[in-house]
Each structure stands twice: as C-alpha cells, then as structure tokens.
Amino acid sequence: MAGKYVLALDEGSSSARAVLVDTEGQIVSDSSAEITASYPRPSWVELDPTLLWDAARTSMHRAMTKAGVTSAEIAAVGITTHRESCLIWNRETGLPIYNAIMWMSKQTDDIVSQWSLDGMDDDIRRLTGVRNDSYFSAGKLAWILDQVPGARMDAEAGKLAAGTVDTWLLWNLTGGKSHATDPSSASRTAMYNIRELRWDEDLCARYGIPMKLLPEVLPSNSLFGYVESSLLDGTGSSPIPITAVLADQQAGLFGQACFELGSAKNTYGTAGVLTVNVGEQPRIIPGMSSSIAWQVADKAVYEVEGVVFHCGQTLQWLRDKMHIIDSVAHSANAATALSDNGGVYFVPAFAGLCDPYWDRDVRAAIIGLTLDTGAEHIVRAGLEAMAYQTRDNVLALERGGLPIPSLRVDGGAISNDFLCQFQADLLGIPVERPRELERTALGVAQLAGIGVGMWSGQSDLSDAWRAERIFEPKISLDHREELYSGWQDAVAAARSVAPARTSRVAKLVTPVPLAAASLTAVATELVAHR
C-alpha cells in the first residue's frame, strides 16, 4: 500500500462531499460543495452534469488542502453517489446531450404508464426487484432518447454512453477510460437482472434502450480504473486506483457494518432510506424494493429497502421556502419547546408517497391545524414525519416476515436527539446512533481500503463499529399506537384528495395542501418567539 489515506467521493442530491479516511478508519478531513437542481417544469427535477463534476472535483481538492494531504499519500479512491438519477453523454466529446434527470423527477410518467399498459409491470418487478415507476432510471433514459433529436440514432451507432451518477464521475475521473458501474447502482435502474447479475437484454429491448449505451457492471470491489494525479494536485508519481463503487444507501449499510442477515440501518438524508441485509438470495416483500447491497468478487449480498422521498428535505423546505426556521438545527429547539404535536401531522408527499404506499398522485399536506397551532407545531410535525415514515417501512418488513430487532441510524438529521428518541418510541426497539454520523462516505472508503490492504475484511469493520448512544423506547404501547393511528389518518386524508382522485369525498379531516397554504402568520409568530 503506497499511500496512507483513502479518498471517498460521496455525491448526494444536494452536495458533493469528499472525505479522507486514515488507516485507523477515522475521517481526518472532509469538504463539500453544493449542488443546485433545476425545475424546468412542475414535477421535473434535473441537474447540470458539468456542475455535478465540478462540485466533485472542488470537494476533493478542498478536503486534501484542508488536511495537507497530497495525491502521493492517497492509496485508493472510492465512489458513492445518489441513485436512480441518470444521464447520457457523447463518448468522443465527453459532453452530456441533456441534463441528468433526478430520481424524484416525474417527467417520465407517461412512458412508465405505457409500459404498464403493455403488461410489463410483473416482469419488471420479478426480474429487477423494483417496480415500474418514474423513480427508476429506465424511463429517464428512454425519455432522453425520445426527446433529444438524433439521440436514438447515435445510441444505436455506439456514439453515446449512459449511466447513473457514479458512472459519470468514474468516466471523468479516469479521463473517459472507464465506462462502468457496480451491481448496487445497476440494481436501481429497472434494467438489471438481480438474479443473473446482468443487464436484462429482453427488458432493455422492450424499453427501447440499446445495450451499447450501458456501462460494464463490475463487482463493487473491482479495480474500476485510475485517477491521474494531475487531476488532484499532480504530486503523485503514479495514478491512484479506484477500488470501490457503491450506491449511497448500500454504502451506508456497509459503513454501518450491517453484514449479518436481518441487520438494518435507516439514513435520514434528503430522502429517508431503510435498508436491511437479507443475505445471498433476493427477497421480494410487498411495498418494498429488492436490490443488491454489494457484490464482492463473485458473491452478491442482497437488501430489501423502503424509501421515503422527503426526509431532511422537509426541513429544508421549511427553512428555504416557508422561512419558518433559520436552520435545520433549529428544528430541535422548536420541537422540544412543545409537550406534544398538538394533533398536527405533516405528510411530506411533495413528489408523492414512496414505500410502502407507492402512490405518486398524493401531494404534501398538513393535517389538524387549529387556531392554537403555532409554527413550532408544524416544525415538530415535520420532524416526526421522518419517524412515522420509517415505521411505515419497518411494519411492511414485519408483515413480510422480516422483523427488525434494532435499528442503526445515520445521516445529518440524527444529531437531533429528539428525532432519535421519537424514532425509538415509535418503533419500540433500540435505535443505535454511531460515533460518526455520516456512514455513506465511510462505507465506500472502507470497501476501497480493503482493496488495497488497509483493512483485512469485514470482521475488522464490525469490531471497530461503536455506538455513540443507544436510544431505548420510553413510551407505552398504547401511546405509541395512538400517535401512529393519527399519522395513518393523516396519510389517508392526504391520499383521499390527491389530484388524480379529486372526485372522491374525503372521509377524514380535509388536509391543507402545502402549495396553497399561507404560513406567513405562523412564521412571524416563530420569529417573535426567538
């Protein structure tokens, strides 16, 4: 091992983060650069691919400068990125032919609806483990091929390359020498056969996606290529190997040392994702997705997961759009200023409901507003929604015969003690918060480090994992079920007035759609109480 650090690149939905991890498994430096999405039309969400790459490069340079580390000291690089977002670029010029379409974007709804009419839903679910939905990558690639003039002809001629964000970064890091991905990312595209570990040619043909577009799928711990030292600081005498690629949620599962069957973690990021290790065979559970956690050599490990579209992003919305809080950190103060939620529930279905409901027609709503409602109630309801949505998915796992005895948590939001305790109370199981809250970058760094001999294997990582705090449930079963019943009523109310079902009469309390609600008064109230 030539160097003594692993450089991990963690590209999320709203920022690119780079971290340096030493031989003790400690993060010695980190830096991030913001990424701003664009919204060309309602419900469309896109990213400029050149800005994705610029943010990644900036964060790497800053992390190295911050620690005084040169490229000669870096033993390996690992890449982890947000999933399902994808793009297409020209192989010769390296330039994208259209923006990257984000995972949450709904501009491909018509395409996936047609695939449903064509009778493809069951095949997609059976072969890929995910469902036919605009959330996944296949519809996005088909949309770009249909909308960009000449794209389909160029794709058939082999002039174009496609991939998820990891593939795009790998292409740029290696100067266009590597067009690849790993099974964890491929399994989130609705094009990858998770049992046979290959792109499914029949599905791709039915989608109208040429196989020539797609990257090579390599095991997660492969040698994916080399980063030229000149791309970093030019001090190294040899290129740096890229020895791990993992999708972000799977990297978090790895970083949480969830190597045993049934071990689970929940990440509270922009979205919220519950993932559980289900071993060496895929398992299909109603309402959940089945994907590949990672593949090391020829051995694939599978996961079952539940995604909620809006987790930490709910607090960002309260801060940036409604101006109810100054910062996400302030949400804890607002929540703990109250003894309870005052009967207020926040259903953050800005882009519909994901697991376990899969109801994309729903829109966000606040339920239970009265004249006694203050801004603090709405902030608390936004925090509580993270925990309620997690319980929705834990219960779906239990119904599918997969009970969760404890839950490891990560993501920036879990620094909030209120959230962690409320989650333990709602689930009735221990919630374990690790010493290092951001496990995604650490997870891919660990896998990359194993590839260059920094750690011997997973047993080293399991032994090194430590909880900073374990939150035990404190409330009674009756109280827990009373709170959750209120949440279920709120979700039912929001679903009853979804745009596609406006002819239905709401059977419960009529929700207040967030897009139409004016929260100026409560925002002013909160400012007055600061």
Q: Where are the domains of the chain?
A: 5-247, 257-410+476-524
This prediction has a pTM of 0.85
* Alpha-carbon span 403 to 327, nearest angstrom: 35
pLDDT tier, 512 (very low <50, low <70, confident <90, very high otherwise): very low
pLDDT (0 to 100) of residue 530: 35
pLDDT above 60 for 100: yes
Contact 8, 76 (CB under 8 A): no
Q: What is the pLDDT of residues 168-222, one digit of tens each?
A: 999 999 999 999 999 999 999 999 999 999 999 999 999 999 999 999 999 999 9
* Alpha-carbon span 364 to 378, nearest angstrom: 13
Say what percent of the chain tops pLDDT 90: 65
pLDDT tier, 77 (very low <50, low <70, confident <90, very high otherwise): very high
Mean pLDDT of 146-153: 95
Domain range 5-247, CATH architecture: 2-Layer Sandwich (3.30)
pLDDT (0 to 100) of residue 507: 32
In DSSP notation, 101-151 reads EPTT--TTHHHHHHHHHTT-HHHHHHHHSS-SSTTSHHHHHHHHHHHSTTH
pLDDT (0 to 100) of residue 2: 61
pLDDT (0 to 100) of residue 527: 37
Residue whose pair of structure tokens reads 């959750």 in the numeric block: 484
pLDDT above 50 for 67: yes
pLDDT (0 to 100) of residue 453: 87
pLDDT (0 to 100) of residue 340: 87
Half-sphere exposure (Cβ direction) of 235: Cα atoms closer than 13 Å: 12
Mean pLDDT of 216-236: 85
Residue whose pair of structure tokens reads 């939150």 in the numeric block: 471
Which range has the worst mean pLDDT, 75-79, 313-317, 372-376, 481-485? Answer: 313-317
Domains 5-247 and 257-410+476-524 share a fold: yes
b/e sequence 46-77, b meaning 16+ C-beta within 10 Å:
bbbbebbbebbbbbbbbbbeebebbbbbbbbb
* Alpha-carbon span 108 to 121, nearest angstrom: 15
Which range has the worst mean pLDDT, 280-284, 291-295, 386-390, 498-502? Answer: 498-502
Cis ω before 356 (30° cut-off from 0) = yes
Mean pLDDT of 496-504: 59
Give the domain 257-410+476-524 fold. Answer: Nucleotidyltransferase; domain 5 (3.30.420)
Provide the strand spans (E) within 358-406. 365-367
Q: Which of 112, 120, 118 is nearest to 142 (CA)?
A: 112
pLDDT (0 to 100) of residue 235: 65
Mean pLDDT of 466-491: 95
pLDDT tier, 431 (very low <50, low <70, confident <90, very high otherwise): very high
More confident residue, 336 or 68: 68
Contact 347, 388 (CB under 8 A): no
* Alpha-carbon span 529 to 66, nearest angstrom: 38
Apex 239 CA angle, 255 and 72, nearest 5: 75
